[in-house]
Structures are given as structure tokens and as C-alpha cells.
Amino acid sequence: MKRFIFGLFVIAFFTKSLFAGEGMWIPMLLNGANEREMREMGMKITADDIYSLNHSSMKDAVVLFSRGCTAEIVSDQALLFTNHHCGFSEIQKHSSLENDYITNGFWATNNKEELPNPGLTVTMLMQMEDVTDFALMGVTKEMTEVQRKEKIAVNSKAICEKAKERSGFDAEVRPFFQDNKFYLLYKQVFKDIRLVGAPPSMIGKFGGDTDNWMWPRHTGDFSVFRIYVGKDNKPADYSADNVPFKPNYHFPISLKGVEENDFTFVFGYPARTSEYLPSYAIALTTEKSNPHRVDLRGMRLDIFNKYSATDQKVKIQYASKDAGVSNGWKKMIGESKGIKRLNGVEKKQMQEDDFIRWTNADESRKAKYGGLIHAFETTYTKYEPLKIAGDFMSEAGYGIEIVSFVSKFQALIDESAKANVDATKMDKLLKGLQSQTKSFFKDYHQPIDREVATALISYYIANQSVDFRPSFLNTINAQSKQTISDYVNKLFDKTLFVDEAAVNALLIDFNMKKIRKITQDPVYQIVMSLKDFNEIQIQKPLKTIGTSLDSLQRIYMQAQMEMQSEKQFYPDANSSLRIAYGKVGGFSPADAVYYNYFTTLDGIIEKENPEVFDYVLDEKIKSIYYTKDFGPYADKDGKMRIAFAASNHTTGGNSGSPVLNAEGQLVGINFDRCWEGTMSDLMYDPAMCRNISVDVRYVLFVIDNYAGAHHLIEEMTLIK
Ligand code: ARG
Ligand code: ASP
């Protein structure tokens, strides 16, 4: 492919001292202080090998997988590694009782057998540019936050249009450092991504939700996909004639493994962190919001688990939902604990005291930043009840499956109510709903939803006052002697939305009568009640509070950078490509306890428990494990290593990211963090924060020896 440089505005503005481990850095800005530190820590390659516009570089082999994960290219035919949990919903969608790929795994034996996944995309960053000056053109100090945002949106649109025209790529301007900096991202979106292989859950999800977010870990959390393109090597919609993409770069894979203190870096798409918030925000999240959300999710999980334990069909149906609900549930528990252990709120308060002192010491600073912390306090006081009301609405209201399903009909009703109904749009909406109906009922078990609804509504009423809940909840108790479970049962008996045939009938020959049927349905009325509640009681007051918070946050970010001018700041994660670097190592999670930095197959055998689903191993896996002939994939001592821990600063979205050694060779696939360190999204602690990666040698062993997919190994570049 032709190399391109559109860069007009490249500015390197970082030159300061660092905090090894912490930080998610912009790949384009590594040269300078980051590169120096990386080399001091052991890196043998250069920043230019990682990100370059003049020749192929590693950034050409790292992609955003779907919307929330990362994947890396590992062959010249665009074979992709990501996590099992990142490919899970695709694996699940191809699965049924007859073809149970979740339980048994799936392996295509040739390209023809690779399975297409409509809707799945991977996105590649082509180039990045600092366009701050252009994005802020015409923005003045006198503008309100809303005017400022509008101006930036107009500027960004113009920048993107020009960029698209110049390059032929998709372009997007994204804010960094709380709207203080703006970068233009050129991207290519690939739309034909096929499933090549996935290990059975016994490997890919070994330890399940029990071990999730925890170290020591023994999960072979990987799956394999491939990018397909048109014959011109450009992204194309799915077609049987498409061919494997020929990438500019693919990662060589090291068979040497890692040792304690080895330098590693993680290259991927971290989604969201909030490292620069004031104490009020940290207290709200960890002491108020998380605890309610944890309770609400815990109730749903108990109910899912009760049914799944005795019904294999339900277990498959709810596998993906359960993983999603449980993942956030456990993360929030860990995050709140971690902040408490770190005295995170007090630490932030001390920083704020320093900040106030620093501000007051200088008249011009006083003029700019005086009163900022106090403004945070008053604004967060107003924000808190709205944030909690929003949490309840989404976790308890839409946590009822039938409610979130029926909410999808809103757009259809809205469109049909228009004076000039757009027939093509209606048709598209109806078709979309038909396919959503199909996938909803494939994985819906009504008895679960009845129990969930009863539990969530009871908790909602018990914990939110009348003014902070949607109106439908206030009608339940009004009818005397009706218990919540009576109410729920009546609701489910009456609604037509629990009946697949009835829903399908609604969507054919759509007419006025059907519109009435929908709008008069009791579940649709709940949806409307939630919608009104959200618009009037949450979004309306939030509009002003939210903009003041944005403005305060932006000014506080700028002020923190000014106050600690010798410190190198990294921007909060925002689903853009980043580099985190650190060292391989264990940690001490509690007094007198030390965790080693790697796990081995011995631990899988130790954890095996036929009674506990998460730790079941079948004979095929055991016989492979017991051969102990791990060939080139064994460590020096002959053992099979499974996972390792390191101090790279990662977050959600980094799952599936390549973990690279000092030479830039692939040594692991990142998939998680240890529980004691999950507060790293708010506050990083070098003593406790560890990312968890599956050792790439175990990945290769499973592909080669368990799946017998030696042809895939032959595609890769292995370094002995
Ligand atoms: N905790 C990891 C992440 O946030 C892995 C989640 C998937 N695994 C699971 N057992 N649910 O994505
Ligand atoms: N497991 C996460 C993910 O899916 C990674 C993390 O939160 O550390 O991206």
C-alpha cells in the first residue's frame, strides 16, 4: 500500500518524567520521554517501529475488534487473535444444542469453513494528527460550554470532511484531556470478519465467572478470526468471493516466554478511564453508585444461575448475558474495595487541598481557578440523585429483559406517528425488529424474567423514593393488597410480547390496529413510563448540570497540568489506540501473601472439580494435558505456562490486545486485570495493579495439539 503523510499539525509536547507502569500513551507521541523510559526498562526496538507513517509498523497489525475489544494480526493472511470472551457472542450465535461450539469449541479446517459474522467489524487506525488548533478555531473564553461544544462540532465536521477527501479513509476528530486536545483519526473499517477457531469453554472460559478478575488465573482466553476483503485488498461487505486481507504488518510470535522483570508493552484500545476526577466523583461512584448496581446485578445473577444449574438449554441461552452482567458486577465490587484500601477519596481530597493552596498563592491563578473545587462540590451534590436515578433506571428498569426488548419498538411507533411516514424507513425498522425478535426469543426464558422482574421492582421501590422513580412503579402499591409478584405475573400474563408468534404477527402487514395493540400493551406502557421519567426527571435537569461538570472537568484538567508542569500526563482512555508499558511481575494482594507472576497447567489439574461447572475438564482435554509432551511450547523446565501478570496499565477494551516483549514479538494476549487492582480506572496503584495475559505458547499449544489445526501454526511467524 502507498504510504501517506497528511500531517500538517504534528506537535510533540511531552518531555517530562514518568511513572513506570501507570499510563496509556498515544503511540504517535512515544518518541521522547516515553521512548527513553521504555528503553531504560529494556525495550530493544524504537518508537518508530511501533508507530510510523513512513514504513509499515506495529500499529498496522492492531485493530479495534467490534466496538469493545482489541485484536492483532498474526499472519500475512490476516489471521487475528483476540480473546474467547471477545469472540464469545459470535461463538454463541453460531451455537445450538446440536452444534454447541461453546461447549465443544469450533475449528475451521480450511478457509471455506470459516464462519461469517454479519455486523462484526474490525477497525484499523491509519494515521493520527493533532488538530487542536483547528478544532478550537473561533472558540473564545466568553463562550458558554454549549456554544463551545457547538463550535468544536462544526470545526470537527469540516476537518473530517477534508481529511476524508484527502485520504479516502474514514475520519473522526476525538477529544483528549477532557476536551483540551483534539486528534484527527484516519480509520479503515473491515466488514467481513470470519470465525476461524475457538477452544471449548473448558479452556477458553476455564474458571468462568468464579476466577474472572482474579489472579492466579488459568484461562485460555483466546479465539481466532480472519479479516476478508475484496480482490482489491480493500474492505468490502461480506461476499463468498472475498479473500483474506494482506496486511502491511503481522506480529512475529516468540516461543521464549517471559521472565520476572521483563519489559512488556500492551498495544490496544482501552475504552474508558477517569483518572483526573475530583474526590466527590470518586466517592459517588465507589460509595453510592457501585453498591446499588452491585445489589441489582447480584439478584439477576442468582436467578440466572438457579435456572442454568438444572437446564442445559437455559445455560446456553443465558451464557452470554450472564457473563456480561457478572463481569460488571464483580468489577464494581473490586473497584470500590480498591479505592477504599487506597484511601482514594482522602488522597484526592489532599490533592484538592494542595490545589487550592496553589491557586490562592497567585492572583492570576485565583482569577482562573478560584472556587473550582467548591463548584465541584455543589455541582456533584446536585448530580448525585440524578446519577443514582439513572443507575436504577438502566439496571433495574431495563434489567427486565422484556422491557428492554419492547423498548426497541419505540422507533417504529414514533415513525408511524409522523405526518409523512417514510415507507422505506418503516420497512427497514420492521425488518430489523423481525430479526431482533428472532434472536431475542432464541435466548429468552420467561420464568427467569418473571423472577428477575419481581426482584428488581421490589428493590427499586424499597430503595428509591417516589420522586425518583418512574410513574408505573407508583401505581403498583396503589392497588391495595396487590403484591409485587402478583403485579408481575399479571403483567406477563397480559402482554403479547412474551409470545414469539404474536410478535411476528404484529410485524407483518403493519397497520393502525397493530399500532394500537403495541401502544396499549402493558409492557409498552412501562417502556413509555421509563422514557418519560428519563426525559423529564433525569435528562432535563442533567442537561445543565452535565454541561457544568464538563466545563469544570475541562478546566480542572488544564489546571492540574499547569500545577504539575514537570509531570507527564496521559489522556484518559477513550477507545483510541494506546500503548501501556510495564514489567512482568507478581504482587502481594494481602498481608503475608505473595502471588507468583505465572501459572502453569499444574494449576488447571489442581483446580479441576467435576462438581463445579467452571472447573470441569473432559477426558480429551485431560489426556492432552497428561501427555506432558508440550514440544516447542513448553517453558525451559518442560512445564506448560498458562498465564502471566505484569504491571501494564490496561482497562476494558484492552482485552485481546497483543502483549509484546522487548523485541516487539508477541508473548501473550491480554484479557483481564487482577481484582485487587480494578480501581486502576480511577486510580492506579503500582503495588496492586496487574494486567493478566494468556501465554501465547499455551494458545499455540491448544491450536496445534488440542485442535489439530497445524495449518494455522504454519501461517504464523514463530521465533524460537
Ligand atoms: N474481566 C474480563 C473483562 O472485563 C473478562 C470478562 C469475560 N470473562 C468472564 N468470565 N465473564 O472483560
Ligand atoms: N477484561 C477486560 C476487557 O474485556 C480487560 C480489563 O478490563 O482489564 O477489555
As a whole number of angstroms, the longest Cα–Cα distance in the chain is 75
- Ligand 1 centroid to Cα of residue 212, in Å, is 6
- Residue ranges of alpha helices (H) inside 180-254 are 201-204, 208-211
pLDDT band, residue 286 (cuts 50/70/90):
very high
Render 251-277 in DSSP notation, one character per residue.
--EESS---TT-EEEEEE------TT-
Say which CATH topology domain 2-121+191-273+573-719 has. Thrombin, subunit H (2.40.10)
Q: How is the chain split into domains, by residue range?
A: 2-121+191-273+573-719, 279-561
Residue among 83, 85, 657 whose CB has most ligand 1 atoms within 8 A, to mutate: 85
534 lines ligand 2 (CB under 6 A): no
Is 648 close to ligand 2, i.e. is its CB under 6 Å away? no
Which segment of 270-274, 496-500, 539-543, 662-666 scores lowest on mean pLDDT?
539-543
- Is residue 84 among the annotated active site residues? no
Any residues with CB less than 8 A from the CB of 462 and at least 6 apart, and which?
none
Distance CA 323, CA 291 (A): 19
Cis peptide preceding 199, ω within 30 of 0: no
Q: Are 85 and 206 in contact (CB under 8 A)?
A: no
Percentage helix, strand, coil for the chain under 3-state DSSP, each rounded to 5: 50, 15, 35
Query: Quick one: pLDDT band at residue 602, thresholds 50, 70, 90?
Result: very high
Active-site residue 221, yes or no? yes
In ligand 1, the atom with minimum distance to the C-alpha of 326 is 11
Burial code of 639-661, b = ≥16 C-beta within 10 A, e = fewer?
ebbbbbbbbbbbbbbbbbbbbbb
CA atoms of 289 and 287, how far apart (whole Å) = 6
312-341 and 84-93 helices cross at what angle (nearest 10)? 160
Ligand 2 mutation pick, 209, 335, 671, 674, max ligand atoms within 8 A of CB: 671
208 Cβ below 6 A of ligand 1: yes
Among all bound ligands, the one having the nearest atom to the CA of 326 is 1
613 pLDDT more than 90: no
Distance 671 CA to ligand 1 centre (A): 7
Dihedral of alpha carbons 586, 589, 592, 595, sign: negative
The SS3 of residue 45 is coil
- 451: its cell numbers: 423472577
- Whether ligand 2 lies within 6 angstroms of the CB of 652 is answered as yes
In the reported structure, the alpha carbon of residue 650 is separated from the centroid of ligand 2 by a whole-number distance in angstroms of 8
Give the residue, out of 67, 673, 679, with the most ligand 2 atoms within 8 A of its beta carbon, to mutate for a pocket test.
673
Give the DSSP H/E element, type plus range, for residue 81.
strand 79-82
Sign of the CA dihedral 50, 51, 56, 59?
A: positive
The answer to whether the CB of 85 is under 6 A from ligand 1 is yes
Q: Give the angle 525-529-534 at the CA atoms, nearest 5°.
A: 145
Q: How many CB atoms lie within 10 A of CB 241?
A: 9
Is the distance from the beta carbon of residue 209 to the nearest atom of ligand 1 less than 6 Å?
A: yes
Q: Containing H/E element for 122?
A: strand 122-130
What atom in ligand 1 is closest to the CA of residue 655? 12
* Ligand 2 centroid to residue 464 C-alpha, Å: 31
Closest residue to atom 5 of ligand 1, CA basis: 672
Q: Is the CB of 655 under 6 A from ligand 2?
A: yes
pLDDT (tens digit per residue) in 64-100: 999 999 999 999 999 999 999 999 999 999 988 899 9
Query: Taking 90 as the threshold, does the pLDDT of residue 477 lie above it?
Result: no
Q: C-alpha cell of 73?
A: 494480526
| Mean pLDDT to the nearest integer, 638-667 | 98
Q: Are 566 and 16 in contact (CB under 8 A)?
A: yes
Cis ω for the linkage preceding 216 (within 30 of 0): yes
Burial category of 32 from C-beta neighbours within 10 Å (exposed 0-12, middle 13-18, buried 19 and up)? middle
Cell numbers of 367, please? 482569577
Average pLDDT of span 526-545? 96
CA 478 to ligand 1 center in whole angstroms: 42
Does position 277 have pLDDT exceeding 50, yes or no?
A: yes
CA distances from 199 to 84, 405, 642, 699, 707 (A): 8, 31, 14, 9, 8
Cβ(18)–Cβ(34) under 8 Å? yes
| Residue 204 in this model has a pLDDT that exceeds 70 | yes
Quick check: 14 pLDDT over 70? no
Which one from 655, 657, 680, 693 is the annotated catalytic residue? 655
Q: Identify the residue whose C-alpha is closest to ligand 1 atom 7.
A: 85
pLDDT of amino acid 190:
98
Stated as kind and residue range, the H or E segment containing 186 is: strand 181-190
Q: Is the CB of 671 under 6 A from ligand 2?
A: yes
Q: Is the CB of 653 under 6 A from ligand 2?
A: yes
Q: Does ligand 2 come within 6 angstroms of the Cβ of 334?
A: no
Q: Establish whether residue 129 lines the binding site of ligand 1, counting it when its CB lies within 6 angstroms of any ligand atom.
A: no
- pLDDT tens digits for range 168-182: 999 999 999 999 999
Can you say how many angstroms the Cα of residue 76 is from the centroid of all Cα atoms in its chain?
27
| Centroid of ligand 1 to alpha carbon of 655 (angstroms) | 9
| Nearest-10 crossing angle of helices 484-494, 446-463 | 140
**Residue 8 confidence (pLDDT) above 60:** no
Polymer length of the chain: 720
> Where is 590: in which H helix or E strand?
strand 587-590
Answer whether 673 contacts ligand 2 (Cβ < 6 A): yes
DSSP string, 312-339: HHHHHHHHHHHHHHHHHHHHHHHHHHHH
Catalytic residue among 60, 221, 449, 521: 221
Q: What pLDDT sits at residue 1?
A: 40
Ligand in closest contact with the CA of 24: 2
Residue 6 has pLDDT above 70, yes or no: no
Pocket test for ligand 2, best of 672, 676, 688, 689 (most atoms within 8 A of CB): 672
Q: From CA 524, how far away is CA 404, in angstroms rounded?
A: 10
Q: Which ligand is nearest to the CA of 217?
A: 1
CA distance 178 to 175: 7
d(CA 269, CA 575): 5
The C-alpha atoms of residue 657 and residue 83 are separated, in whole angstroms, by: 8
Which atom in ligand 1 lies closest to the alpha carbon of residue 208?
A: 10
For residues 109 and 712, give the distance between their C-alpha atoms in angstroms, rounded to a whole number: 9
Grid cell in block for residue 284: 459517588
pLDDT digits (tens, 9 = 90+) for 402-455: 999 999 999 999 999 999 999 999 999 999 999 999 999 999 999 999 999 999
Residue for grid cell 500475512: 76
Q: Interior CA angle at 69 toward 64 and 73, to 5°?
A: 55
Confidence label for 16 from pLDDT (cuts 50, 70 and 90): very low
% of the chain exceeding 70 in pLDDT: 97
CB of residue 208 inside a 6 A radius of ligand 2: no
Q: Is the pLDDT of residue 541 over 50?
A: yes
Catalytic-residue membership of 60? no
Which phi and psi (to 5°) does residue 519 adopt?
-70, -25
Of 84, 85, 218, 649, which residue is the catalytic one? 85
C-alpha cell read off for 31: 518518541
Q: Closest ligand to 654 CA? A: 2
Q: Which three cell numbers stand for residue 76?
A: 500475512
Residue 181: strand pairing partners: 176
Strands 79-82, 170-176: parallel, antiparallel or unpaired by DSSP?
unpaired
Report yes or no: 265 and 648 within 8 Å, Cβ to Cβ.
yes
Whether the per-residue pLDDT at 566 is higher than 50: the answer is yes
Tell me if 466 sits within 8 A of 537, measured CB to CB.
no
Q: Which atom of ligand 2 is nearest to the CA of 655?
A: 9
Q: What is the mean pLDDT of residues 16-25?
A: 70
Ligand lying nearest the CA atom of residue 65: 2
- Residue whose C-alpha is closest to residue 578's, from 174, 185, 268, 176: 268
Measured between alpha carbons, how far is 488 from 458 in angstroms, rounded to an integer?
10
Closest atom of ligand 1 relative to the 88 alpha carbon = 7
Q: Among 332-341, 625-634, 698-707, name the one with the lowest average pLDDT.
A: 625-634
Mean pLDDT over 339-348 rounds to: 98
Q: Are 216 and 628 in contact (CB under 8 A)?
A: no
What is the C-alpha separation between 633 and 636, in angstroms, rounded? 9
Atom 7 of ligand 2, nearest CA residue: 652
Among protein residues, the one whose CA lies closest to atom 2 of ligand 2 = 652
| Distance from residue 494's CA to the centre of ligand 1 (Å) | 37
Q: Which residue reads 428477575 in cell numbers?
A: 452
Contact 314, 445 (CB under 8 A): yes
Between the alpha carbon of residue 63 and those of residues 60, 239, 291, the distances in Å are 8, 21, 34
Taking residues 379-400, report their average pLDDT. Answer: 98
